[in-house]
Amino acid sequence: MKILVTGGLGFIGSHTVVELQQEGFDVVIIDNLSKSTIDVLDKIASISNRKPDYHHIDLRDKIAVKTFFSSNAIDGVIHFAASKAVGESVQMPLEYYENNISSLVYVLQEMSANNVSNFIFSSSCTVYGQADELPITENAPIKPAESPYGNTKQIGEEIIKDGTKISDLKAIALRYFNPIGAHESAKIGELPIGVPQNLIPFVTQTAAGIREVLSIFGNDYPTPDGTAVRDYIHVVDLAKAHIVALKRLLTKQNKASFEVFNLGTGKGNSVLEVIQTFEKVSGKNLNYKFVDRRAGDITSAYADTTIANKELGWKAELSLEDALLSAWKWQLTLK
């Protein structure tokens, strides 16, 4: 079975490629290296002892996508390739719509033209905005997106849904909560380019002395300790969920042509709890300060994992401690 992984040299993509290979799948990666580096390919091979095929293609290049699909027999697609920084998307919305939407459309068009019907879409809990009820189920209402990034995920799901109505496309959208951590080998992990937008890379870079202080965006939220709550899921647990979802489609166990699953641990942790846990597992004291809330942030989000556990037969197994320690070990390998 040959699986195309777009964005396969990225954070979640690379971890998913390793799990696919260890499950015996042949993997071909398309990545334009906008948010990654080519040495991740060798790192993946050093973990799985198999080097994936790699094509340096920008999915906005419609002809290149067409040429790829007409010359590669693919059994399924896992689509990670997208721009994903919430704040950046507010600064450059058109680039986000161009990249995230046109790439998706071109991949879906060529899948249809080449009778490739199994599709896994990288979506996000950001589609829920600040949910009215916690934990968040897959039936929670989709709220107007707080950012162009979140909007591209909402629009993406709608495009895929419409695609399943006019072809034999079968799709699963996986709505991630907050992916963190790194592979236990510390050979792959989160590689933020420039100043990290997400919490954990900023934490590990502060602990490593690369950043002078961690700013906590707001300690006046209506939460037990005043800092915002998220559902932090280990990236390896997340990667494994992609294999389960892919197999569901390959073995035709899906119950609808478009399905959605929340991927989280079901547990919420505040920023301060994350910091305290990191200090415990790393033995480092973190230098942090409280500053104003970040525009667009929500107070609290954590997943109701019932459907994913029951329907997918998947459950997150790794703890916040495991994830934070793996992130720290990964940081220590970076120059």
Instruction: Return residues touching ligand WQD (CB under 6 A).
Output: 84, 86, 124, 126, 176, 178, 197-199, 202, 214-217, 228, 230, 271, 294, 297
Beta carbons of 124 and 176 less than 8 angstroms apart: yes
248: helix, strand or coil: helix
CB of residue 165 to ligand WQD, shortest distance in Å: 27
CB of residue 16 to ligand WQD, shortest distance in Å: 14
Q: Which of 149, 221, 232, 302 is catalytic?
A: 149
Nearer to ligand WQD by Cβ, of 45 and 217: the residue is 217
Q: Is 106 a catalytic residue?
A: no
DSSP H helical segments within the chain, as ranges? 11-22, 39-48, 62-70, 86-91, 93-97, 103-113, 148-165, 199-207, 235-250, 271-282, 306-307, 320-333
Rounded CA Rg of the chain? 19
Sign of the C-alpha dihedral computed for residues 251, 12, 81 and 261 taken in this order: positive
Sign of the C-alpha dihedral computed for residues 6, 10, 13 and 16 taken in this order: positive
CB of residue 74 to ligand WQD, shortest distance in Å: 24
Q: Which two tokens stand for residue 125?
A: 């809990």
Beta carbons of 69 and 114 less than 8 angstroms apart: yes
Nearer to ligand WQD by Cβ, of 170 and 230: the residue is 230
Nearer to ligand WQD by Cβ, of 170 and 183: the residue is 183
CB of residue 307 to ligand WQD, shortest distance in Å: 19
Nearer to ligand WQD by Cβ, of 28 and 241: the residue is 241
CB of residue 215 to ligand WQD, shortest distance in Å: 6
Instruction: Tell which residue, 305, 271, 245, 313, has the closest CA to residue 125.
Output: 305
Nearer to ligand WQD by Cβ, of 69 and 177: the residue is 177
Distance CA 121, CA 249 (A): 12
Q: Which two tokens stand for residue 237?
A: 């647990």
Residue 111 contacts by C-beta under 8 Å, 6 or more apart in sequence?
69, 74, 77, 117, 119, 169
Nearer to ligand WQD by Cβ, of 100 and 178: the residue is 178
CB of residue 128 to ligand WQD, shortest distance in Å: 10
Q: Which residues are catalytic?
A: 149
